[in-house]
Amino acid sequence: MPRVVFDPERCKGCGLCLAFCPTRAVGMDEGLNRMGYHPAVLLDEAACTSCAACAWVCPDLAVEVYVPVKAGERRAGVG
Amino acid sequence: MAERILLKGNEALGEAAILAGCRFFAGYPITPQNEIPAYMARRMPRVGGVFIQAESELAAINMVYGAAGAGARAMTSSSSPGISLKQEGISYLAGAELPSVVVNIVRGGPGLGGIQPAQSDYFQATRGGGHGDYRTPVFAPNSVQEMVDLTMEAFEVADAYRNPVLVLGDGILGQMMEPVALPPAREAPLPPKPWATTGAKGPGRRIINSLYLDPVVLEQRNLWLAEKYARMRGLARAETVGMEDAEICLVAYGATSRIVKGAMQMARREGIRAGLIRPVTLWPYPTVSIREAAGRVEAFLVVELSLGQMVEDVRLAVDGKAPVHFYGRTGGMVPSPREVLEKLREVAAGMGKRRVVAAGAGA
Amino acid sequence: MRQIFAGTDGLTQSTTIYCPGCTHGITHRLVGEVLEELGVTGRTVGVASVGCSVLAYEYFNCDMQEAAHGRAPAVATGIRRVLPEAVVFTYQGDGDLASIGMGETIHAAARGERITVIFINNANYGMTGGQLAPTTLLGQVTTTTPGGRSAATAGYPIRVCELLATLDGPAYVARTSTHNVAELHRTKKAIRAAFQAQLEGAGFSMVEILSTCPTNWGMDPVRAMEFVAKEMTATYPLGEFVNWRRGN
């Protein structure tokens, strides 16, 4: 499961997440969503650090961010 | 019969609102209605209600919008220029179906006008001075007692129909004192208002709104309101005096109707058989009473403190069956019974009948 | 995997009508998150104003009222006074709050009305196609200042926070921005403080939030963020102007 999940149907292709991602891990999909925008997509999963900058600057609540649960860490629920 | 006390019209109206369960009032200074906000400022805190002097009549009507939308019985009052400022708000109250009472103690206009009594806001009140196909019931008291009774009724009608309701007084009624029997305070709880925004989350949340960007939906909305306005027709009522044998029908409302009643009695003493129809509701207009009289009387004489506004509704109701004459004073001038009598004599003479004038009477 | 960023139940699931990259959407989320984190959504009544955010009543997940243009603070006052326990906020743009509604804004603040005003300053009337607003910058081109706003004909920008800071009624007045992640964190902090001022009965609170309008500014969303960062903050300095906790 990736650290960041973009909802292609809520995204309006504004590109803010792409611009503010500190590791350039985000790009825009070639295809179009139902609204006719190129939705954001996680290009480089390895570069992603779950910093959630993309989620913070997203005007459309199109981003969910996850962080790997380290071996001994069992806490569930939303950060 | 409850004990009668001497009260000034404006203050009696304020007390009536409180007796009706009004617990939110927003007002603004303007003569000749100033006693209403002043009275509310004293009384509301004592009954656990809210009085606010708003920064403008515009703000006041929108505060009423918020309070009414939150489920309270809410009222605002003003005089002519201030009521003009509230017209947009009244249209919003109608569009969002918010029960509320708006009181206009009318003064001479147009523009800044004067502070003396007038009835020149009739069109604005009955046709609606705001935008859109909306209607509001309009009550027209003609005594301090009716300032009480009709204001209390206005709150019941507002809740019953989820609609703004207007009470159209004038400077005379607002400023004069008369003995009044105050009905008991409303005991029953307010009608339930599940639609009110009292704080809720999720699917159960409520929305007070008049915005419908989709014309299909907005038309449906208007047709729904139109059906409600049709149901309001039953509210129409008028008082009739001396119409059994009348050949001339006088039509007047509010304080003017009492001057006209005086003239009517003087005319009868001169053998002029005049009767009076006094609309209590200006919208819905008591068309039935007028139309019924049109079949029996030879002429109508409409008297208003304006250049003639209600006269058009009378003509609509009479529908050409009889001549409809008009007499009015405006700008704050108030006719004497004698001036109205003079006009009555003209109408009677004009009807071609020889008037036997008793020697020396009516000199 | 553990989720560390999710939606908020302070907002409904609706997608919004806002243009791509318009920061209205971000601010909506921050307000929704604050309502959720304070646990007050269930007793909140919001007032939407007229402008791009006119449909806010479809986005905030609490009771909402739609106010006439400029009148949200008056509507909110009516709600506040009859519902002492409710949490009441307005969400307004610069035209609504600082032009037609300036009277309501100043007097709600002067009354110390216990409401929270979320004020979106994007330096123009967005919904109607980009006209001059009281907050339009000098020299800024709008459809009604085609040659750029000139003080000689269209006057000077109005700094609302500074205006309200002269009054005794406000408990919290701050101006923040949305032009990067750090500013967004400050905006959320300010929104929380504003609601806490209301919850503690300290008085009137407002957060002015510098926002983008890519469509009417004729910029792509990222360029618009830079415009806010450089141009707007020059006319509208960020910071807290009133904070009851600091006694100022």
Nearest CA distance, B52 vs chain C (angstrom): 9
pLDDT in the model for residue A6 = 97
pLDDT in the model for residue B1 = 60
- Is the residue at C6 inside a domain? no
Q: Element (H or E) spanning C65, and its range?
A: strand C63-66
pLDDT in the model for residue B360 = 45
For residue A77, pLDDT over 70 is answered with no
Residue C210 lies in domain: 24-243
| Coil/strand/helix, residue B27 | strand
CATH topology of domain B237-362: Rossmann fold (3.40.50)
* CB < 8 Å from B in window 23-42 of C: 41-42
Reduced 3-state DSSP string for B274-333: EEEEEECEEECCCHHHHHHHHCCCCEEEEEECCCCCHHHHHHHHHCCCCCEEEEECCCCC
* CB < 8 Å from B in window 44-73 of C: 44-45, 47, 54-55, 57, 61-68, 71
- Is the residue at C172 inside a domain? yes
- Is the residue at C224 inside a domain? yes
Do residue C221 and residue A16 have CB atoms under 8 angstroms apart? Answer: yes
pLDDT in the model for residue B115 = 96
| Per-residue pLDDT tens digits for C22-81 | 999 999 999 999 999 999 999 999 999 999 999 999 999 999 999 999 999 999 999 999
Count of domains observed in chain C: 1
pLDDT in the model for residue A78 = 45
Nearest CA distance, A29 vs chain C (angstrom): 16
Chain A CB within 8 Å of residue C247 CB: no
- Is the residue at A73 inside a domain? no
Q: Element (H or E) spanning C241, and its range?
A: strand C239-243
- Is the residue at A42 inside a domain? yes
pLDDT in the model for residue B2 = 72
pLDDT band at C136 (very low <50, low <70, confident <90, very high): very high
Residue A8 lies in domain: 4-65
Do B and A make contact via 3 or more CB pairs under 8 A? The reply is no
pLDDT in the model for residue C202 = 98
pLDDT band at C245 (very low <50, low <70, confident <90, very high): very high
Q: Are B165 and B27 in contact (CB under 8 A)?
A: no
* CB < 8 Å from B in window 205-234 of C: none
Report the CATH architecture of B4-186+210-234.
3-Layer(aba) Sandwich (3.40)
pLDDT in the model for residue B351 = 85
- Is the residue at A13 inside a domain? yes
Task: Report the CATH number at residue A58.
Answer: 3.30.70.20
pLDDT in the model for residue B268 = 97
CA atoms within 13 A on the CB side of C122: 34
- Is the residue at C228 inside a domain? yes
Judging contacts by C-beta atoms under 8 Å, the chain C residues touching residue A52 are 4-5
* CB < 8 Å from A in window 23-82 of C: 23-26, 29
- Is the residue at A78 inside a domain? no
- Is the residue at A75 inside a domain? no
Residues of A engaging C, defined by a Cβ cutoff of 8 Å? 1, 3, 9-10, 12-16, 19-20, 37, 50, 52-53, 55-61, 63-69, 73, 75-79
CA dist B353 → A62, B268, B342, B347, B362 (Å): 87, 15, 16, 10, 18
In chain B, ranges of CATH 3.40.50.970 domains: 4-186+210-234
Chain A CB within 8 Å of residue C214 CB: yes
In chain B, ranges of CATH 3.40.50.920 domains: 237-362
Provide the mean pLDDT of chain C.
Answer: 97
ipTM above 0.95, yes or no: no
With a cut of 50, list the residues of chain B below it in pLDDT: 354-363
Task: Report the CATH number at residue C227.
Answer: 3.40.50.970
Would you list the DSSP string of C220-234? -HHHHHHHIIIIIHH
Question: CA of C186: which chain A residue's CA is closest?
Answer: A56
Percent of chain C past pLDDT 90, that is, above it, reads 99
- Token readout for B63 is 């505060």
Q: Are B173 and B143 in contact (CB under 8 A)?
A: yes
- Is the residue at C9 inside a domain? no
Q: Is the pTM of this model over 0.80?
A: yes
Residues β-bridged to residue B299: B248
Count of domains observed in chain A: 1
- Is the residue at A51 inside a domain? yes
For residue A74, pLDDT over 70 is answered with no
pLDDT in the model for residue B363 = 45
pLDDT in the model for residue C248 = 81
Nearest CA distance, A44 vs chain C (angstrom): 18
pLDDT in the model for residue A72 = 62
pLDDT in the model for residue B358 = 42
pLDDT in the model for residue B353 = 53
For residue C247, pLDDT over 90 is answered with no
Question: CA of C41: which chain B residue's CA is closest?
Answer: B201
Do residue C21 and residue A78 have CB atoms under 8 angstroms apart? Answer: no
Chain B CB within 8 Å of residue C9 CB: yes
- Is the residue at C248 inside a domain? no
Judging contacts by C-beta atoms under 8 Å, the chain A residues touching residue C1 are 1, 3, 66-69
- Is the residue at C17 inside a domain? no
